[in-house]
Amino acid sequence: MRIIAGTRRGLHLKNPDGLDTRPTTDRVKESLFNIIQFHLPVPSVLDLFAGSGALGIEALSRGCEHCVFTEKSRKAAALTQENLCRAGFDGRAEVVVLDALSYLEHCDRRFDLIFLDPPYNKGFLMPVLQRIDQYGLLAPGGILTVETEKAGEVVPDSFFSCKKTAVYGKTVITILQG
Domains of the chain: 26-177 (3.40.50.150)
Confidence band for 10, pLDDT divided at 50, 70 and 90:
very high
Averaged pLDDT, 1-14: 94
Write out the E strands in 31-160. Answer: 44-48, 66-71, 93-97, 111-116, 138-149
Name which of 21-25, 125-129, 165-169 the model is least confident about.
21-25
Average pLDDT along the chain = 94
Determine the Cα–Cα distance for residues 158 and 170; give it in Å rounded to an integer.
Answer: 24
User: What pLDDT digit, counting tens, does each position of 43-61 carry?
Assistant: 999 999 999 999 999 999 9
Q: Cα-Cα-Cα-Cα dihedral of 137, 139, 143, 146, to 10°?
A: 10
pLDDT tens, residue by residue, 111-165: 999 999 999 999 999 999 999 999 999 999 999 999 999 999 999 888 999 999 9
How far apart, in whole angstroms, are the C-alpha atoms of residue 100 and residue 167? 25
